[in-house]
Amino acid sequence: MVKVKNISKQYKIKEKRGTPIYIDAVRDMTFALESNKIYSLIGESGSGKSTLSRLLTYIEKPTTGKIWIDSKEVTSLRKKQLIKMRSDIQMVFQDGKSALDPRQKIYDSIAEPIRNLTNINKNQEREVIEDLIDKVELPINILNMLPSELSGGQQKRILIARAMSVCPKFIVFDESISGLDVIIRKRILDLLLKLQQEYKSTYLFVTHDIDAALYMSNNIMVMKKGALVEKALGIKSCNDFNHEYSRKLINSHFI
Ligand SMILES: Nc1ncnc2c1ncn2[C@@H]1O[C@H](COP(=O)(O)OP(=O)(O)O)[C@@H](O)[C@H]1O
Ligand SMILES: [Mg+2]
């Protein structure tokens, strides 16, 4: 279970004659995500989706508010304690090219979180990685290749395998399917759904693609200007939303 209480994030952008200007990227958000469930998060560009994603995965600290993973309050943890918790939460970014080290073989890219966050030995490591490659439906010889030798869809699968390698309880996908053509995109979504069944992780699927959001889940969170407009559970059609803004957003289909 992921719980968030009154979190906000302010960025200081520039100082005009010594007076700093602040942007409220996330404003006073409170919500909870149940374990073993998928939630989609939608919102216009600039509504704060990526900022919230970084706060939830402790890449950045919130300006105010608290975050709990299961019963542990992660916002109060020190760096060392935080590292121990890192395997519980993973983030899959949008861009495979920049997320994968171009000089590193695929094997080592996937191994990175295992080496940094677990005590698994070298033999077990290979076993885990070969099993993951199988799970993301790629051929085993891809492990010896460099990212540049892979297609966009294959790179996405590697990022997914890398995130899954530490069996996280909670995974945030921030625009993870952007930049793929329609057929490949659907295959990746199906893969994510299959893996969720297997790993029982909680997903927060962040996207500006309404169709993908609905394909992944009927639990939809809607953000507008840094704030949570609503968290709608069991949505079957856009009429099930409480807020006019959510209905409008969904009706626009592709934000
Ligand atoms: N590191 C940063 N420094 C300053 N402003 C930022 C930073 N990151 C995001 N912002 C601002 O916060 C707001 C929300 O951005 P973002 O979280 O990227 O939205 P989204 O992912 O929904 O497009 C935007 O106005 C953006 O310009
Ligand atoms: Mg974003």
Residues with CB under 6 A from ligand 1: 11, 13, 23, 25, 43, 45-51
For the chain, domain boundaries? 2-251
Convert the pLDDT of each residue in 185-226 to its tens digit: 999 999 999 999 999 999 999 998 888 999 999 999 999 999
Substitution candidate for ligand 1 out of 51, 93, 172 with most atoms within 8 A of CB:
51
Q: What whole-number distance in Å separates Cα of residue 190 and Cα of residue 204?
A: 15
Which residue has the CA at smallest separation from atom 25 of ligand 1? 46
* CA pseudo-torsion sign 154, 173, 175, 93: negative
Least distant ligand from the CA of 9: 1
18-56 as b/e: b if 16+ CB within 10 A: eeeeeebbbbebeeebeeebbbbbbbbeebbbbbbbbbb
Query: What mean pLDDT value characterizes the chain?
Result: 92
Of 51 and 77, more confident: 51
Which residue has the CA at smallest separation from atom 4 of ligand 1? 11
Q: What whole-number distance in Å separates Cα of residue 111 and Cα of residue 53?
A: 23
For residue 166, the tally of other CB atoms under 10 A from its CB is: 20
- In the prediction, which pLDDT does 180 show? 86
Substitution candidate for ligand 1 out of 23, 56, 174 with most atoms within 8 A of CB:
23
- In the prediction, which pLDDT does 20 show? 85
- In the prediction, which pLDDT does 243 show? 93
Which residue has the CA at smallest separation from atom 11 of ligand 1? 25
Least distant ligand from the CA of 176: 2
- In the prediction, which pLDDT does 52 show? 97
**Residue with tokens 């899959």, as numbered in its chain:** 92
Average pLDDT for 125-134? 96
Cα separation values, 6 from 27, 28, 76, Å = 8, 4, 15
Percent of the chain with pLDDT over 70: 98
pTM of the model: 0.94
- In the prediction, which pLDDT does 254 show? 53
* Residue 236 in this model has a pLDDT that exceeds 60: yes
Average pLDDT for 155-173? 94
CA of 222 relative to ligand 1 center, distance in Å? 16
- In the prediction, which pLDDT does 94 show? 79
Which residue has the CA at smallest separation from atom 17 of ligand 1? 48
- In the prediction, which pLDDT does 96 show? 63
* Tokens found for residue 118: 């677990």
Which residue has the CA at smallest separation from atom 7 of ligand 1? 11
2-251: what CATH class?
alpha beta
How sure is the predictor about 253, in pLDDT bands with cuts at 50, 70 and 90?
Answer: low
Substitution candidate for ligand 1 out of 11, 29, 63 with most atoms within 8 A of CB:
11
Convert the pLDDT of each residue in 66-106 to its tens digit: 999 988 899 888 888 888 788 899 999 877 667 899 999 99
